[in-house]
């Protein structure tokens, strides 16, 4: 039921894919499997980094944080989405919607900043290999990680407070399977100018800055690799950043496809919601697969972890 009086807006209705019920149960099974693979894959990466001493370096501390984000980010939306696919009750409380938006924006923003820090780490490792241990110390790594998480959560706090200070009186039906800024702004009967400007200006500046750091880092990395004379040296240098480069392409590629692709009359709202599901769920699942396939040290550590687990079970 829609709610038109701001004083009575105590909940929102998440549309999700309820308008195409014939695919709800198959989607439920698909996303349950994907979510489980995401948790297991990223959990295995975390376990390998924690248990293997040779992986306890700045590069893998950053990777561990990426795995944490890939566990937390889908966990902010997927459980509620799965419940909505099975039940007729698609409601979420006003406070619950605000909290979901806050954590989702915070985690997604932190991942953007973390990818930039990871690109900088690879830039230092390849362009200044002899000074890497002096530049990327554990203390510096902790400082960078604290900065990425703080920036992500502070940025999200500002957007969430601005969005939920609006008056909602047009409807309470959110045209998405989770609480997000654009569909919430369409429900407001007060001016959304400040909220929209914050998204465009603050979000744009932070997002573009992180993207430019990532891009410039890889321009220098590629330039340095091309100057290496031996084929073996080029392969070794490229192998140290190949996994992260694939993750960056996957993250920004799916983000651009989801949010910046040109509009078309053939794009139904349900199809757009499905696309955003793929962006928010598929990427966190693929990241540990990429690192476990492309990174020999991670593969070796995972083999040791699984071997120990098998041996302990036999004992």
Q: Which residues contact 24 (CB under 8 A, 6 or more apart)?
A: 17, 18, 85, 86
How far apart CA 230 and CA 236 sit, in angstroms, is 10
116-144 tens-digit pLDDT: 999 999 999 999 999 999 999 999 999 99
How far apart CA 247 and CA 231 sit, in angstroms, is 24
Classify domain 14-313 at the CATH class level.
mainly alpha
pLDDT band at 18 (very low <50, low <70, confident <90, very high): low
How far apart CA 15 and CA 209 sit, in angstroms, is 34
For the segment 222-242, the average pLDDT, to the nearest whole number, is 84
How far apart CA 294 and CA 276 sit, in angstroms, is 27
Find tokens 């007060």 and name the residue: 190
How far apart CA 130 and CA 139 sit, in angstroms, is 18
45-86 tens-digit pLDDT: 998 898 888 888 999 999 999 999 999 999 999 999 899 888
Alpha-helix residue ranges (DSSP H) falling in 164-241: 181-185, 193-197, 204-227, 231-239
Q: Which of 108, 139, 116, 54 shows the shortest CA–CA distance to 279?
A: 108
Please give the DSSP secondary-structure letter assigned to residue 102. H
| Token pair recorded at residue 197 | 């400007």
pLDDT band at 275 (very low <50, low <70, confident <90, very high): low
pTM of structure: 0.88
Paired sense of beta strands 91-93 and 11-14, if any? antiparallel
| Token pair recorded at residue 150 | 């703080």
How far does Cα 116 stand from its chain's mean position?
A: 13
| Token pair recorded at residue 229 | 């004379």
């Amino acid at each position: 039921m829609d709610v038109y009086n701001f004083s009575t807006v105590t909940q929102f209705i998440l549309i999700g894919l309820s308008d195409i019920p014939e695919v709800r149960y198959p989607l439920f099974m698909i996303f349950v499997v994907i979510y489980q693979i995401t948790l297991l894959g990223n959990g295995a990466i975390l376990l390998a980094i924690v248990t293997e001493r040779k992986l306890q370096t700045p590069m893998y501390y950053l990777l561990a944080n990426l795995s944490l984000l890939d566990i937390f980010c889908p966990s902010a939306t997927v459980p509620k989405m799965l419940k909505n696919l099975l039940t007729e009750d698609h409601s979420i409380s006003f406070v619950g919607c605000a909290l979901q938006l806050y954590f989702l924006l915070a985690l997604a923003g932190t991942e953007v900043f973390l990818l930039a820090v990871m690109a900088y780490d690879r830039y230092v490792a390849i362009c200044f290999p002899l000074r890497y241990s002096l530049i990327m110390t554990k203390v510096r790594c902790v400082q960078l990680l604290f900065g990425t998480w703080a920036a992500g959560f502070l940025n999200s706090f500002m957007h969430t407070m601005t969005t939920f200070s609006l008056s909602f009186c047009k409807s309470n039906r959110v045209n998405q399977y989770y609480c997000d800024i654009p569909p919430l702004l369409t429900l407001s009967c007060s001016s959304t100018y400040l909220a929209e400007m914050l998204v465009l200006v603050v979000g744009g500046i932070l997002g573009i800055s992180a993207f430019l750091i990532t891009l410039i880092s890889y321009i220098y990395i590629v330039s340095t690799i091309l100057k290496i004379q031996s084929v073996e040296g080029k392969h070794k240098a490229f192998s140290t950043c190949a996994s992260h480069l694939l993750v960056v392409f996957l993250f920004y590629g799916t983000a651009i496809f989801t949010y910046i692709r040109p509009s078309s009359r053939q794009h139904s709202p349900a199809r757009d919601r499905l696309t955003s599901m793929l962006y928010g769920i598929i990427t966190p699942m693929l990241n540990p697969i990429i690192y476990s396939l492309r990174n020999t040290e991670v593969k070796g550590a995972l083999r040791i972890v699984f071997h120990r687990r098998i041996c302990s079970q036999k004992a």
